[in-house]
Amino acid sequence: MKILHTADWHVGKVLKGRSRLDEHRAVLRELVTLARREDVDAVVVAGDLFDTSAPTPEAQGLVLPALMALREGGRDVVVLAGNHDNPQLLEVYRPVLGKLGIHVVGGFRRPEAGGTLSFTARSGEPVRLAVLPFLSHRYVIRAAEVLAGTAADHNRDYAGRIGELIGALTAGFAADTVNLVTTHGTLPGGKFGGGEREAQSIFSYYFEAAAFPSTTQYAALGHLHRRQQIPGPCPIWYSGSPLAVDFGEEANAPGALLITVEPGRPAVVREVAFDAPRALATVRGTLERLSAVAADLVDTETWLRVIVEEKPRPGLADTVREILPGAIEVVLDERFRPVNPVRQAGPAAAGRSPRELFRDYLTAAGRHDDNVAALFDRLYDEVTT
């Protein structure tokens, strides 16, 4: 059978105030086209469909039709909650999308209650797919209690608990079935894409690749935005995000994974890069330098982060955007950023007028500008006379 593995859509993501809905629409269209062209038998969306737990109607209006389009032709579509998703919202979707043949798992479920899916692929192979959505520390304890039926031992760590849950979900794997696992989390050694949520990517949220049993023929992961393979007892892959989530990911190659697998044999994985996402790039330099490279950037679809090597002054960002209309973030090079001026002791400042103190502040902060000083004088006169 052939599987399309994707994750970390982050639909609804705003980049420096710019909506990306049109870009997401194009990316999801490319994903659906890939599923049709390759005639895949199943699609696994390994979490983070949305960028926020309260997605807008517009974001939901992109995701749900995309899932239904992926389902066309009788493909099995499996969706699980990531750390950005609202698991309760996905559970609301569950019965409705389930009627359409789309398997949705928002929270942990016991194997017999939807945690381990059993179905026959369009290509005829029997499939067992263990599904473990993202679990916070608080909910991994609750999941362990549901599984064991007894009070959880709070001294066991996160990795140990995740290992127990995956072990329970994969216990029914057999030699004559296609055995798959999908989850959303962080494995040691994984390379971060740059836009992951730090609080839920730290060491206390890691679990080990050894959690996947050797009977697993493919493990489809979400959470890390860079497409990559992780060493382990079976083929373990992050599909990465289908678009660069922010400027920390400008070096990534957005796309998805195509997996060919049959019972008793390891999966064969093929990487696919996408064309639809807009490129993100960082440029730096003086205004003169930026003007020199503008001709190469002005007609592109690239969104730019510009690091300016100039002293701060009013209107500097506007000047940069006139040179590079694609600049959506303009920041000062750290060498030119003002430092916090040392507060003068009372006696040293005694007897100095507000105008003099304000000019001292501008000078100490590296922001002296005659126009700004004159504006302060005018405002000071208006409020004191």
pLDDT in tens, 97-140: 999 999 999 999 999 999 999 999 998 999 999 999 998 876 66
Cα gap 132→312, rounded to integer Å: 50
Cα gap 282→134, rounded to integer Å: 32
Q: What is the predicted pLDDT for the residue at 146?
A: 54
Name the β-bridge partners of 282.
Answer: 305
Q: What is the predicted pLDDT for the residue at 272?
A: 95
Residue 151: pLDDT over 50: no
User: Could you read off the pLDDT of 294-344 as tens digits, one per residue?
Assistant: 888 776 778 899 999 988 888 899 999 999 988 888 989 888 877 655 555
Question: 307: exposed, middle or buried (C-beta count within 10 Å: 0-12, 13-18, 19+)?
Answer: middle
- Which residues have CB under 8 Å from 115's CB, separation 6+? 105, 108, 109, 130, 131, 132, 168, 169
Residue 145: pLDDT over 90: no
- 């003099």: which residue's tokens? 356
User: Could you read off the pLDDT of 33-83 as tens digits, one per residue?
Assistant: 999 999 999 999 999 999 999 999 999 999 999 999 999 999 999 999 999
Cα gap 131→169, rounded to integer Å: 8
Instruction: Tell me if 332 sits within 8 A of 284, measured CB to CB.
Output: no
Phi, then psi, of 109 in degrees rounded to 5: -130, 145
- Per-residue pLDDT band at 154 (split at 50, 70, 90): very low
Among the listed ranges 95-99, 262-266, 314-318, 375-379, which one has the minimum average pLDDT value?
Answer: 375-379
DSSP state of 12: T
Cα distances (Å, whole numbers) of residue 320 to 109, 150, 151, 324, 385: 53, 62, 60, 6, 38
Name the β-bridge partners of 130.
Answer: 116, 181
Residue 261: pLDDT over 50: yes
Alpha-helix runs per DSSP H in the chain: 21-38, 57-71, 87-99, 137-148, 158-169, 287-297, 316-323, 346-349, 354-364, 370-384
Cα gap 54→88, rounded to integer Å: 11
User: Could you read off the pLDDT of 166-222 as tens digits, one per residue?
Assistant: 999 999 999 999 999 999 999 988 887 665 555 444 555 788 999 999 999 999 999
Phi, then psi, of 88 in degrees rounded to 5: -65, -40
Structure tokens that stand for 250 in this block:
């400008």
Structure tokens that stand for 6 in this block:
């994707």
Q: What is the predicted pLDDT for the residue at 200?
A: 46
* Element of type H or E holding 247: none
Give the total residue count for the chain. 385
Q: What is the predicted pLDDT for the residue at 153?
A: 47
Phi, then psi, of 139 in degrees rounded to 5: -80, -20
DSSP state of 260: E
Structure tokens that stand for 203 in this block:
């060491």
Portion of the chain with pLDDT greater than 90, in percent: 57
Q: What is the predicted pLDDT for the residue at 183?
A: 97
Q: What is the predicted pLDDT for the residue at 34?
A: 97
C-alpha of 143 from chain center: 24
Instruction: Tell me if 80 sits within 8 A of 33, measured CB to CB.
Output: no
